[in-house]
Chains A and B, each alone.
Chain A
Amino acid sequence: MADVVSRTALDMREVSFRYDAGDAADAAEVPPDAFADARQTASPPALDDASLRLAPGECVVLCGGSGCGKTTLTRVANGLIPSFFHGVFTGSCLTCGLDTTQVPIDRLTPLTGSVFQNPKTQYFNANSTDELAFPCENMGMETAEINRRVSEVAERFGVADLLERDVLRLSGGQRQRIAMAAANMLEPRLVVLDEPTSNLDSSAIDDMRLLVARMKADGVAVLVAEHRLAWLNGVADRYVVFKSGRIVRSCAADEFLALSPDTVAGMGLRALDLEPYRQRVRGLVASEAASGRGADGASGVPLLRTRDLVIGHDRRRTGLRFGLAGAGRANGRDHRGVQDRSMPFRRAVDDLTLYRGQIVGLMGRNGAGKTTLVRTLTGLMRPLSGQIELDGRVANAHALTRAGFMVMQDVNYQLFSASVREELMLGFDEDDADARTRCDSILDELDLTAFADRHPMSLSGGQKQRVAIGSALMCGKDLIVLDEPTSGLDRLHMEQVGRLLRRLADSGRTLLVVTHDEELAAGWCDRIVMLSDQR
């Protein structure tokens, strides 16, 4: 019996959990559109009668829409519930034989490793080697043993070339690889991944697959909560589908992968096979190239046209960088061609033409210069050479900033007011009847009327996105750029974003979408511009 217990990495029985009101009932776990009312009334259980077992070397994927309970389940497994997130817990959870409700989370540290969604907010040390050493230091290991483990794990997880580097200068994908290696430093028996790929491009996601395979080969049980499912083909052993906190389906990988795309879509899940989407993306990219950069097919004067544009920055941007001493510095570009932000960067961009009423996707690998391009197009940066025309006239950076808007990936940076209505009215006279009418109609257009008096920060990610778009419409912007609008979104919300883009385009706005999301690009973009790697 004891043997069975010790061999099971996770044994969860009839677990139900309800977050305390206000305590950590974060947007990730409450259905975003029900978020408004969920807080005032008693919150529904985040997890309802869930049972799950994981054997060593097994990889189980938890899937389902936002707020379905999959993140909550990972928190129960790694002991964050009840150590950090409080609420009402019933049932039992044994992680590597330890009862998570009875033992302090410190006891679980050497047994479970965790990797979270945001590559920016899960490391403590500026130096990647220190970051790997961090869990070992906390366990009180000797320096020699720490160094031995660092080099052994770095070797095993293929991150040896990332050692002694400044974490701030690593790409999101590289940071996630370091996070995966760090989660394995104490030789855990269970590793919990909570949407580890939401901010990554497709080649970085492929790296993640290899790391999961590596852990399985070492006999580590892997629990993954994920929206993007395709990358797990071949490494996942079992899929568990959640709906409103309950497990509605649990089946072996072959059975799950044999489901028809429609069945999968019907469960609100992202595609299991991205090949059809990739094909459509390739088709759009090819027709873009053939049509001479979209010059025909649309009539009239383009909203924006670039000529012989060279983008980038020459000067080193330095600032006060505290606590970063001793971190190794890469020269300009690292081995994966990811651009070092403080190093000069320069690339030519094929002439690009944007017409009103179109959704144009901008794709390409990390470091290809997508962000630099859209920053240049919205006038936040000046081009190194070449011209940008607005409505047929050469425009300077100021004019571009006036005409364009960017919905940032992290939309929190661009909301300044205490209510949604104030946010839209920012810069307008409150007594201006005309502005008020326009504000009301924009709120209505974006389904925000019900939230007009709420604080923007109390809204879900998708709602915040719509508020930011609303503020752009209020300012009468013609060009709206969205930076990764669907990262970390489930199918339903991804499609919601797609439909919103379509509606905005149909009403004559021009949309440029920077994205790694093949499903969004294939489903909703009229044209796709691929920013190739330079060399």
Chain B
Amino acid sequence: MGLDPRAKLYLLLLANLMLFFHVGLVTQIVMVVLFLTPLAAAGRLRMAARFAVLYAALTALGMLDPDAMGVPQLHVVAALAVGVSMMLPCFMTGAYAFTTTSASAFVCAMRRMRVPETVVIPCVVIIRFFPTILPDYRRIREAMALRGIASGAFAWIRHPAQSLEYVVVPLLMNATTVAQDLSVAALTKGLGRKGAHTSRTAIRMRAADWVMMSAATAPLVLDIAGVI
């Protein structure tokens, strides 16, 4: 089962609203279950399971009562856990939207939503950039290792600013050449052409999309209205 990209973006929006409105724990749990269902249905079982475990662990940590345990220092941990668990739904829906949708489906969805081309084109390029970052990062780490520049987790803790510089400088330098090459290729393929663009990828809002969207909206609305 795959939802329409528009439904996926709607879920992402809901997750952000959840964070904004500070929903109650019950609503949060219901929403998390609703968010993880399509992720699992799309075949990302492992990812869904990891999110579920992480969320459960953070929620459990957040429910600790450090004063009762006599370890007031644990307040820091509990507060951090609550904070992260509140942001987690955004990561879940974000991961769902971006790992299960092809670039062309996204572009098609944005055009259907009448998003102006000035927004669509940068989005195409950004989506195109994502998959290159991880391999680039690995190469840079290797280059650092060969130069004897510490590049492990320890180095990140000891010299965060310097480590960031060593990684970001080559990454950006490379990105500028890639950006120029991509712009040139885009121009010759007519990406910026005026007039209607079509898409081979067919996207359609189906019953499942509407069901999912209303199912995820309901708890949020009820929570904001004060029912839950």
Contact = CB atoms under 8 A, between A and B. Distances in A.
Interface of A: 24, 26, 78-80, 83-84, 105-106, 109-110, 112-114, 116, 118, 120-127, 129-130, 133-143, 146-147, 150, 168, 182, 319-327, 375, 378, 380, 401-402, 404-406, 408, 410, 412-416, 426-427, 457, 471-472, 475
23 contacts: A80-B187, A122-B181, A124-B182, A126-B103, A134-B189, A140-B197, A140-B198, A143-B199, A143-B202, A150-B200, A168-B131, A320-B95, A320-B99, A322-B131, A323-B99, A324-B102, A380-B142, A412-B173, A413-B143, A414-B143, A416-B144, A471-B147, A475-B147
Contacts of B147: 414, 416, 426-427, 471, 475
Interface string B127-157: 1101110101001101111111100000000
Name the residue in B98, B177, B184 with the highest tally of chain A Cβ atoms < 10 Å from its Cβ.
Answer: B184
Nearest to B186: A124
B210 interface: no
B222 interface: no
Interface residues of B, number: 60
A35 to B, nearest CB: 15
Nearest to A341: B135
A165 to B, nearest CB: 13
A130 B198 contact: no
Nearest to A456: B173
A427 B200 contact: no
B185 A325 contact: no
Contact of B174 (A109, A404, A413, A475): A413
A376 to B, nearest CB: 12
B101 A84 contact: no
B146 A109 contact: no
Contacts of A106: 190, 192-194
Contacts, number: 183
B16 interface: no
Given A122-B182, A146-B198, A457 B173 contact: yes
Contacts of A142: 198
Contacts of A406: 142, 146
Contacts of B24: none
A471 B143 CA distance: 11
Name the residue in B127, B134, B170 with the highest tally of chain A Cβ atoms < 10 Å from its Cβ.
Answer: B170
Nearest to B104: A130
B149 A401 contact: no
Contacts of A426: 147, 149
A123 B181 CA distance: 10
A427 B192 contact: no
Interface of B: 42, 95, 98-106, 124, 127-128, 130-132, 134, 136, 139-140, 142-149, 165-166, 169-170, 173-174, 177-178, 180-202
A105 B127 contact: no
A265 B134 CA distance: 42
B179 to A, nearest CB: 9
Name the residue in B42, B102, B143 with the highest tally of chain A Cβ atoms < 10 Å from its Cβ.
Answer: B143
A25 B107 CA distance: 32
Nearest to A80: B184
Contact of A127 (B100, B104, B140, B173): B104
Contact of B99 (A83, A121, A137, A324): A324
A326 B102 CA distance: 6
Contacts of B189: 109, 124, 134-135, 138, 182
Nearest to A324: B131
Nearest to A318: B46
B221 to A, nearest CB: 30
A106 B194 CA distance: 8
Contacts of B106: 323
Contacts of A78: 188
A320 B101 CA distance: 13
B139 A408 contact: yes
A24 B184 CA distance: 11
B174 A143 contact: no
A84 B179 CA distance: 13
Closest 5 pairs between A and B when the two form their complex, measured CB to CB: A121-B181, A414-B143, A109-B190, A138-B190, A322-B130
Contacts of B127: 322-323
B39 to A, nearest CB: 12
Name the residue in A24, A137, A378 with the highest tally of chain B Cβ atoms < 10 Å from its Cβ.
Answer: A137
A322 B170 contact: no
A104 B95 CA distance: 39
A244 B174 CA distance: 28
Contacts of B145: 380, 401
A126 B200 contact: no
Contacts of A114: 185, 188
